[in-house]
Structure 1
Amino acid sequence: MRLKPLHLLCVALPLAACQSVPSAAPAGGASATALPGQAFAEASCNGCHAVGRYGSSSNPNAPPFPAIANQEGLTAETLSTWLRGAHNYPSEMDFYLGERQVDDLVAYMLTLRDPNYRRRPD
């Protein structure tokens, strides 16, 4: 017996309907569109800094990432240089960042720039 194209379609559609569809969000609750630097910031910096676009830092001495990203004169190069120089870190930031982590973190932080950003008064 030879199957016609219509018969093949009738067999293929039910089989396709049985296939599992991957979740839109990766495991762990991270956004599917999260940048690697964002994931790193949420895991490593969030204890002191507000790492998202909005919010206050839990440590009053740790500026929110948008306040850092929107500093006048800040560039990818100046931020990268500061992050690569561990001697710049306050004692609370006593950890090492690899080259890729710095690049990813800088790329993420620069997404927080906003031409309408206004620093909160101290």
Structure 2
Amino acid sequence: MMSHTSFSQEGRIQRGFIFAQTNCSQCHAIGRYGESPLAEAPPFRTLQARYPVEDLAEAFAEGITTGHPSMPEFQLDAAQINDLIAYLKSIQ
């Protein structure tokens, strides 16, 4: 039987995956394997090696702006951030 904590964590991971699939997968590889469709877009599984998770959470809250114009600016709410961070941690 799953504990309540792991069940809610699974929900966060699932919601984070759906967010990533909907908003990010056209450019980024969002899974444990595979190359990004857009060569310069880092695979999500590598983000934690490049940026501390806390920095990612802050960037998601403030609105991600990047050096390249093809990436839209995203501003996520606290629940979306928790979901996406949980998903990113799950694929590292």
Q: Which runs of 5+ in 2 are unaligned?
A: 1-12
Deviation at 1:96, TM superposition (A): 2.9
What per-residue deviation string (whole Å, max 9, x for no partner) do you get for residues 73-99 of structure 1?
Answer: 623x2220121121x422312233222
Q: Which runs of 5+ in 1 are unaligned?
A: 1-33, 114-122
Residue aligning to 1:107:
86
Report the TM-score when normalising by structure 2.
0.72
As a proportion of its length, which structure holds more helix? 2
Structure with greater contact order relative to length (CA < 8 Å, sep ≥ 6): 2
CA contact (8 A) 2:60 2:75 kept: no
Deviation at 1:35, TM superposition (A): 1.5
For the residue of structure 1 that corresponds to 2:35, the secondary structure is coil
CA RMSD in angstroms comes to: 2.0
Task: Count the aligned residue pairs.
Answer: 78
For the residue of structure 2 that corresponds to 1:93, the secondary structure is coil
Report the TM-score when normalising by structure 1.
0.56
Residue aligning to 1:13:
none
- Report the residue type matching 1:51 in the other structure: I
CA contact (8 A) 1:69 1:112 kept: no
Based on CA coordinates, which of the two structures has the bigger radius of gyration?
Answer: 1
Q: Distance in 1 between matches of 2:74 and 2:90?
A: 24
Q: Distance in 2 between matches of 1:95 and 1:74?
A: 19
What per-residue deviation string (whole Å, max 9, x for no partner) do you get for residues 88-116 of structure 1?
Answer: 42231223322211110011001122xxx
